[in-house]
Amino acid sequence: MKRALIIIDIQNDFCPGGPMAVREGDLTVAVANRYAREFRARGECVVALQDWHPNNHGSFASVSGEPVYTLGELNGLAQIWWPDHGIQGSAGADFHPDLDRTLIDAVFHKGEDVDVDSYSAFFDNGHRRKTELDRWLRERDISHLVVLGLATDYCVKYSVLDALELGYQVEVVEEGCRGVNLNPEDSAIAIEQMRNQGAVII
């Protein structure tokens, strides 16, 4: 059984001071570094994901003209209107400065299509297009994923659910995740959803 650590969206925009700051989002960095060191010491892979949006991405409230964090529709899919974030090449899209990039084997981008949002590391929200992550993992015979990052109730949750659907064994490092929590219970619900679908919460 080959494993990989999947670090999701530990980017400046989602950490304190960013436009979509997740409460205590920066506390995931030390956990990610610790796990990454352990994985690399055993010769196992470490992968990082980045939200990587064009500056006119359709999910942005500034593009839709709707208030932030309200619900609408984008390209036939339900859509929360987010603050501008994860813009390609911006400082906000960069990884948190304390995340040890020397431990990361590969970086994959998501959310590059202007007309659809992409929470999952594997697919856009409509499952219309796939990222390169699944192919990369399968080329290396990786079947077991250990996942952490931001945010529990969106990109972590949807990445984990898709990974399970694709047949991976998945563990979620709860101490290495933090949630947006537009509703206070959202992260707790997400953890239960992942567990109910077969993820092991550690």
pLDDT in tens, 146-173: 999 999 999 999 999 999 999 999 999 9
Q: Is 155 a catalytic residue?
A: yes
- Residue 173: phi and psi, rounded to 5, are -85, 100
pLDDT tens profile 81-106: 999 999 999 999 999 999 999 999 99
Alpha-carbon span 194 to 175, nearest angstrom: 15
Model-level pTM greater than 0.95?
Answer: yes
Alpha-carbon span 183 to 109, nearest angstrom: 27
Q: What's the mean pLDDT in 53-68?
A: 98
Q: Is 162 a catalytic residue?
A: no
Q: Is 141 a catalytic residue?
A: no
Residue 13 has pLDDT above 90, yes or no: yes
Catalytic residue among 13, 84, 110, 157: 110
- Residue 162: phi and psi, rounded to 5, are -70, -40
Which residues on neighbouring strands pair with residue 71, listed in sequence order? 80
Catalytic residue among 9, 51, 124, 134: 9
Catalytic residue among 124, 155, 162, 177: 155
**Residue-level pLDDT at 1:** 87
Q: In which band, very low, low, confident or very high, does the pLDDT at 42 lie, cut at 50, 70 and 90?
A: very high
**Residue-level pLDDT at 81:** 98
